[in-house]
Amino acid sequence: MLSDKTIGIVKNITPVVAANAETVTRVFYQKMFAGNPEVKAFFNQSHQHSGGQQKALAGAICAYFSHIDDLESLTPAIELIAQKHCSLGIQPEQYPIVGKHLLAAIQEVMGEAATDEILAAVGEAYQLLADVCIERERQIYAEQRALTGGWNGYRPFIVERKESESNVITSFYLKPADNGPLPSWIPGQYITVRIDHPTTPTSPRNYSLSDQPGQNYFRISVKREVSLTPDAPAGLISNYLHDVVQVGDTLEIGPPCGEFTLNLSDQHETPVVFLAGGVGVTPLLSMAKSLIASQPEAPLYFLQAARNSQTHAFRKELQELKDNGPNVRTLTMYDCPLEEDVERENYDSNGVVDETIIRDWTPFENAEFYFCGPKPFMQNVYSCLHSLNVSTDRIHFEFFGPRQDIESLANS
């Protein structure tokens, strides 16, 4: 536990740190990549380019400092970090590297205000957080190894099938190269793909498992990420998977990880609502298929939002979901339908998810909500749920970046 003195110091400097958090994290990454370039292998450089990684870390630091005297409230955030770290194979000896450069960044940004006493308190606080994360990660690694077919690190998998789901999403069916068993996993989890790119060294990528557990394969469904602005890079690995990787090729795969999951050991008697935007459908489809397979009578609502029929993936699987569950309702929304979509009635509703849709189509008063998709979609959904007074314990989502990016609109 932290001393009262350390807690007091950290709470006193929290407003200053919060005001300069993104500057601190930018300096931190610059120092760490310069001083320990080997750690760049763990970081997606497109997230560095966009500033998303810096902002996410800034949000995490502010949350930790703000709750320094109530660490139990940070349990969900620590679980997210630990799962992500285990997906990348982070080890205890890498934590001192982060601590060293974080303290140096705070010292540089705060200048003379960063006294020895303050730096000592921040160092103590960081070490406590590191110890908590290291212990949880040790447990996760042990749990992975203990599963039948489980492993740590990377394991070679063969691409057995490669199927187009839409103009932008392709599914890859992966089987162990050693023909060994696959471990059990929880719907909503992701696996890690590590590729030795021929021209540009890059970090591993996490992709949600898009089918239900119990198959003799892992399936990931990858969206081709294009460059959104002239100075921004296109998705290096997503394009490599789409254009280069073929059936019969071998990929290095990390074991299932992730905390955005649906617990099938619970009896889901109250409705479960899935709201999917774009490729965010992948973890939600896994959850929904798994729920109906294990609890056919479960009341389930699945809304899928897409641009139009060209980008609409898994149409057939959503129909099968509806056919297999007597209490399943589905709704397809296009915000930019093609002329042929209108003529063929390829969708149920035109537009975007709004408060009226959620109020009129879902049992929002008592349902559990799971949603995933692009940032604007998620901001909108969260804001709608907040306006409808859906309690936070019934709201579940997965998003790369600080939660405040999703919650800001609802709280403004």
> Which residues does the annotation place in the binding site for FAD?
190, 205-208, 399-402
Close Cβ partners of 242 (under 8 Å, ≥ 6 residues apart): 170, 222, 224
190-194 and 205-208 beta bridge pairing: antiparallel
DSSP state of 209: B
Annotated binding site for NADP(+): 278-283
Question: For the CA atoms of 238, 244, 246, 252, what is the dihedral angle to 10 degrees?
Answer: -60
Give the Cα separation of 75 and 81 in Å (integer). Answer: 10
* Closest of 337, 292, 350 to residue 317, by C-alpha: 292
Q: Which of 126, 137, 240, 398 is catalytic?
A: 137
Q: How far apart are CA 280 and CA 208, in angstroms?
A: 9
Which is the catalytic residue, given 95, 240, 370, 382? 95
The answer to whether residue 95 is catalytic is yes
Active site residue 38: no
CB atoms within 10 A of CB 401: 17
Query: Which position has the token pair 């705060």?
Result: 110
Orientation angle between helical segments 315-324 and 281-294, nearest 10 degrees: 20
Number of neighbours of residue 387 by Cβ within 10 angstroms: 14
Binding residues: 85, 190, 205-208, 278-283, 399-402
Are 397 and 260 in contact by the 8 Å Cβ rule? The answer is yes
Q: Is 374 helix (H, G, I), strand (E, B) or coil?
A: coil
The catalytic residues are: 95, 137
